Structure 1
Amino acid sequence: MTETGTIPSPGLDLRAVPGLVLSELGRGGRGVIVLAVDGLSWRAAGQAWRSAELTCLTSTFPSTSATAWLTSITGAPVSEHLVVGAAYRERAGGPLINVITGDVLAGEPAPREPVPPLTTLFERAEGAESVVVGRELDLLRGPWVRTLTRGAARQPARHALARDPHELVTGVVADVEAAISVPRRVPLLLWVYVNLDDHLHGHGYDEAAMSALAVLERHASGWAARGWSVLAYADHGLVPVAPDPALARRWAEVDVAGLCELPGGGAGRVRWLYPRPGMDREVADRLAEAMDGHARVMRAAELDCVEPSTQVRERLGGVVAIATSPSFPLPDPRLRHEHGALSPEEMRVPFARWVRSSLA
């Protein structure tokens, strides 16, 4: 722990996921089902999943999906895969991009820098057939999702996409059943995206979410009883937020062309600015005063929660603000629960295992 909150824990963060999955695959059996549950916190998993073996991992910084899922699939820290959030500048002088959709958000379009070609979990799963059911991920066309799923065959969703938690679980279960019903000559590594995050942003860990998670566990236990190794993990948790319009106005007064080269980027409860050359200190001081204690504001070079590198700092910009209160101004102020910062509820995530029956 530091004053910023919970930082990624070497050996017990999302970089450990590929090794854990491959170890389970090496135990034999029919194969491994991995449920990738977007937005599930450690606390919520402990309440909903009573029959699973649970290990607590820490997320990435920022604690947001684009960064965290890529680390969990490649085992690489942010300083290697360089996806520092959803919206960032790829390099000095380049445009602001959304790495998930591939859209240019600001600046002049330029030749894209691909996500570094790191080896994925699916490419490492030798002797197995890797299949991804991306569900909502199949709607994305940016470079991030192509890197995330490299080395795996894609199975289209067999059930309509849904935000309602119970409809979501119904679809996920149908997708899993479709995949495991196919006869195979080699073990299967099945990775299924479970987009609980869309519901959680509006409602948090309410009764609908928690009861749907309990239903998902019943199916996970059933698959384990049928001879499958079943694992689940998450990318981040969420916390309640109540953005203050006055703080949003103060942020906008600093995020202006006279001070910054590009509009700010960020990832929910972590945001950053791109000061003009030589203005890092001035922008940091102005933003710290504007945030009035509702964020920890620092220059990117001063970050203690991510391994520093020139490429990381170029992407983050010169000044970073990490939320320390629910009033922090968000890129989308309509949300009622958000993530991206370093609170324990955002950073602590589950890795779950349902023990496979040896009698199946």
Structure 2
Amino acid sequence: MPAAALEANQVVLLVLDGLGWEQLQDRLALAPTLAALTGGPITSISPSTTATALTSIATGLTPGEHGVVGYRVAVDHEVLNVLRWTTPSGDARKRIDPRRFQPHAAFLNQRPCIVTKAEFATTGFSGAHLADVRHRGYRVSSTMLVELRDALAAGEPFIYAYYDGIDKVSHEYGLADHYDAELGYVDRLVADVLGLLPRDAALVITADHGQVDVGHNTIPLASDVVSHVSFQSGEGRFRWLHARPGRAEALREAVEACHGDTGWVRTRDQTIDEGWWGPSVTDASRQRFGDVALVAREPVSYIDDADTGPYELVGRHGSLTGAEMYVPLLVGEP
């Protein structure tokens, strides 16, 4: 961490969802403010997905410790969509208590000021990773600046801010013109945030993951694989396959034979032994894994008909490639 952040009396930590280091380096001319900041790349977590990474940022824990081990995780033979906090049965906030699902305190229980979208304050995911913080909600990015200004003026020593525009644009449009336009806008937003800082304050910028432009390169699971699968969790670039009873090894062999050319194939135990989740994995975390992980190595996504949204995702993340795992850690001063 650059000294400017460590020595500042006030720090704004701004998380720019979806801003990968490699994508930024390819477009520095579009982001002169970001390009001028001090810092470099750091490595995100596995899987490189928002729910897991934001929980690690808030708690300081690895996925194996905090247990938010993906965007869609297995809970009692159902799949919980962590960001929506729903299962196929509907709203899960009463059935799956967010605070029990992820019991560790956010930001060492210091209850910092959180500047994020107002509608996020009461979600199950916020209950899981941001319990007991003090929310200052904004509706649009212009009013995020107002909330940051007021929090700084109130003397808040640490402010956590979150902006999701880059991620939303890259999911829907990929890494072409729309992404470039959004990056340019975010760069101007960062310049505005820097302009709000008092003399002894610092801005720290990081992200949860980068992106891969997958386009239409979606792959259905081979029939030889499907015959061994009970259900799937995870996401398109990090699929957990849950085996039918007694078929875990047959499933691994089938996945390796059918999809090993485009992805890494690991058993649950292999991912743990190889340290994908950090040095320790709790029993609760382990129970949320599948039997076999299929993790995209190429720019592809693996289809699960149960994993749907309002539009087909063009940009995706979740895997362990450099494009997804390397994110910026940048520091700026007024």
The TM-score bracket by the shorter chain reads: 0.7 to 0.9
Aligned-partner SS, 1:155:
strand
Counterpart of 1:193 (choices 141, 156, 162) is: 162
Counterpart of 1:343 (choices 303, 306, 321) is: 321
Q: Match for residue 189 of structure 2? A: 216
Counterpart of 1:254 (choices 225, 228, 233) is: 225
Deviation sequence 1:236-272 (CA, Å, 0-9, x none):
0001114545x3152x66345xx334x2001331001
Letter in 2 for 1:248: P
Deviation sequence 1:200-228 (CA, Å, 0-9, x none):
11233432023113212321332346553
Higher strand proportion, which one?
2
Q: Report the Cα distance in structure 2 between the residues aligned to 1:322 and 1:330, rounded to whole angstroms.
A: 12
1:317/1:158 CA distance change after superposition, 3 Å: closer
- Aligned partners of 2:238 and 2:294 also within 8 Å: yes
Q: Report the Cα distance in structure 1 between the residues aligned to 2:323 and 2:180, rounded to whole angstroms.
A: 18
Structure 2 residues without counterparts, runs of 5 or longer: none
The offset of 1:40, in angstroms, is: 0.3
1:136/1:288 CA distance change after superposition, 3 Å: farther
1:337/1:288 CA distance change after superposition, 3 Å: same
Aligned-partner SS, 2:83:
coil
Query: RMSD over aligned Cα, in angstroms?
Result: 3.0
- Aligned partners of 1:62 and 1:267 also within 8 Å: no
Q: Match for residue 204 of structure 1? A: 174
Structure 1 residues without counterparts, runs of 5 or longer: 1-19, 160-170
The offset of 1:177, in angstroms, is: 2.4
Counterpart of 2:116 (choices 117, 134, 142) is: 134
Letter in 2 for 1:85: G
Q: Match for residue 232 of structure 2? A: 264
1:71/1:137 CA distance change after superposition, 3 Å: farther
Q: Report the Cα distance in structure 1 between the residues aligned to 2:257 and 2:152, rounded to whole angstroms.
A: 62
Q: Report the Cα distance in structure 2 between the residues aligned to 1:292 and 1:329, rounded to whole angstroms.
A: 12
1:65/1:97 CA distance change after superposition, 3 Å: same
1:292/1:301 CA distance change after superposition, 3 Å: closer
> Percent identity at matched positions?
22
Q: Report the Cα distance in structure 1 between the residues aligned to 2:260 and 2:22, rounded to whole angstroms.
A: 30
Q: Report the Cα distance in structure 2 between the residues aligned to 1:236 and 1:350, rounded to whole angstroms.
A: 9
Q: Match for residue 78 of structure 2? A: 95
The answer as to 2:188 corresponding to 1:180 is no
- Aligned partners of 1:25 and 1:189 also within 8 Å: no
The answer as to 2:133 corresponding to 1:152 is yes
Counterpart of 2:16 (choices 34, 37, 62) is: 37
Q: Match for residue 67 of structure 2? A: 82
Query: Bigger shift: 60-69 or 176-185?
Result: 176-185
Deviation sequence 1:75-98 (CA, Å, 0-9, x none):
0001111111111113xx442211
1:295/1:136 CA distance change after superposition, 3 Å: farther
Counterpart of 1:105 (choices 81, 88, 91) is: 88
Aligned length: 310
The offset of 1:185, in angstroms, is: 5.7
Q: Report the Cα distance in structure 1 between the residues aligned to 2:152 and 2:240, rounded to whole angstroms.
A: 49
Deviation sequence 1:258-316 (CA, Å, 0-9, x none):
x334x200133100111133211101111222225111112111112224644333211
Query: Bigger shift: 289-298 or 217-226?
Result: 217-226
Q: Report the TM-score when normalising by structure 1.
A: 0.76
Aligned-partner SS, 1:316:
coil
Q: Report the Cα distance in structure 2 between the residues aligned to 1:355 and 1:148, rounded to whole angstroms.
A: 28
Letter in 2 for 1:216: L
1:276/1:106 CA distance change after superposition, 3 Å: farther
Deviation sequence 1:328-359 (CA, Å, 0-9, x none):
32445922111000100100001111024xxx
Q: Report the Cα distance in structure 2 between the residues aligned to 1:77 and 1:241, rounded to whole angstroms.
A: 27
Letter in 1 for 2:317: H
Counterpart of 1:321 (choices 287, 290, 294) is: 294
